[in-house]
Amino acid sequence: MNASPDDQRRLLEIAALDTRIRVAAAAARSPEQAARVSELMQARTELNQELVRARGDVDDVRAEQRRLDDDLKVVEARIARDAARLADSANAKEAQSLEHELAALARRKSDLEDADLDAMERAEAAEEVVAQLEARLRDINEEGADLSAAAKSAVAAAQADQAAAARDRDAVAATVPADLLGLYDKLAQRSAGAALLRRQTCEGCHMVLAGSDLSALRTAAPDAVVTCPECGCILVRTEESGL
């Protein structure tokens, strides 16, 4: 196939635009924020699970506190009742029994108060864990929201760049002969499609051509469409080719 050197050089523009289109499409499919957003979603799931357990711990210890408070009220009521009975009792044996019971109730009250204090401390510690987890969750949600917004903007920008590059490609492609463009499109399915031969190196595969291949290129007519023996793309020859 033959094509003017100018038409061949326009293939380089098309190749560059095709690369730009592919890069933009990839950026639209997977913006750079996507990986971090995925990490945050996983972290949020795990954190929510921790938060459910931590809130359950708070509920359990608060329920324990309520039981202790109820028991303490019962003991205090019995102490008040027995103290009143002791004050009114004239029977020495009954008085002695009440005194023993009051002593036992006092010990029980002390034990309940100690247990209640311990439960209170554990409840405060559990609530602190909940507060810390909630703060971390807020941070994750805020970062996720910021990244999601940035990702949407990046996707929109990538889609706009892809559309602009596609329009530019159509404009350049319209100036290239159909048979040359068809060959380029066919080769572009498995190579760069077209690349500059610079300093005896194909910029499509970055391979330095062998001496015999360079000799063949030197004898080829300027309008001959030649391909890289390594990657198969159309080699565009210029004064930089080193032939």
Q: What is the pLDDT of residue 45?
A: 95
**In angstroms, rounded to a whole number, what is the distance separating the alpha carbons of residues 42 and 217?**
57
Q: 87 pLDDT band (50/70/90 cuts)?
A: confident
**In angstroms, rounded to a whole number, what is the distance separating the alpha carbons of residues 216 and 194?**
18
**In angstroms, rounded to a whole number, what is the distance separating the alpha carbons of residues 214 and 211?**
5
Q: What is the pLDDT of residue 146?
A: 95
Q: Comparing C-alpha atoms, which of 234, 192, 203, 193 is closest to residue 217?
A: 234
Residue in the structure block whose two tokens are 């023993």: 100
Which residues partner with 202 through β-bridges?
197, 207
Average pLDDT, the chain: 93
Residue in the structure block whose two tokens are 């909940």: 130
Q: Could you report the per-residue pLDDT of 134-192, keeping only the tens digit for each?
A: 999 999 999 999 999 999 999 999 999 999 999 999 999 999 999 999 999 999 999 99
Domains of the chain: 5-26+174-237 (no CATH), 27-160 (1.10.287.1490)
Q: What is the pLDDT of residue 89?
A: 79
Q: What is the pLDDT of residue 23?
A: 95
Q: Could you report the per-residue pLDDT of 94-123, keeping only the tens digit for each?
A: 888 888 999 999 999 999 999 999 999 999
Q: 78 pLDDT band (50/70/90 cuts)?
A: very high
Q: 157 CB contacts (<8 Å, ≥6 apart)?
A: none
Radius of gyration of the chain measured on its C-alpha atoms: 42
Q: Phi first, then psi: give them for residue 237, nearest 5 degrees.
A: -95, 135
Q: Could you report the per-residue pLDDT of 15-38, keeping only the tens digit for each?
A: 999 999 999 999 999 999 999 999
Quick one: CA dihedral 22, 28, 30, 32, positive or negative? Answer: positive
Q: What is the pLDDT of residue 86?
A: 81
Q: Comparing C-alpha atoms, which of 172, 187, 229 is closest to residue 6?
A: 172
Asked if residue 6 lies in contact with residue 172, where contact means CB atoms within 8 angstroms, the answer is no
Task: Report the predicted TM-score, pTM, of the whole model to 2 decimal places.
Answer: 0.69
Q: What is the pLDDT of residue 85?
A: 87
**In angstroms, rounded to a whole number, what is the distance separating the alpha carbons of residues 178 and 190?**
20
Using the predicted structure, report yes or no on whether residue 90 has a pLDDT greater than 80: no
**In angstroms, rounded to a whole number, what is the distance separating the alpha carbons of residues 80 and 113?**
17
**In angstroms, rounded to a whole number, what is the distance separating the alpha carbons of residues 83 and 105?**
11
H-helix segments, the chain: 5-29, 34-88, 92-173, 178-188, 211-219
Q: Comparing C-alpha atoms, which of 190, 209, 213 is closest to residue 200?
A: 209
Other CB atoms within a 10 A radius of the CB of residue 218 amount to 10
Q: What is the pLDDT of residue 202?
A: 95
Q: What is the pLDDT of residue 92?
A: 80
DSSP label of 104: H
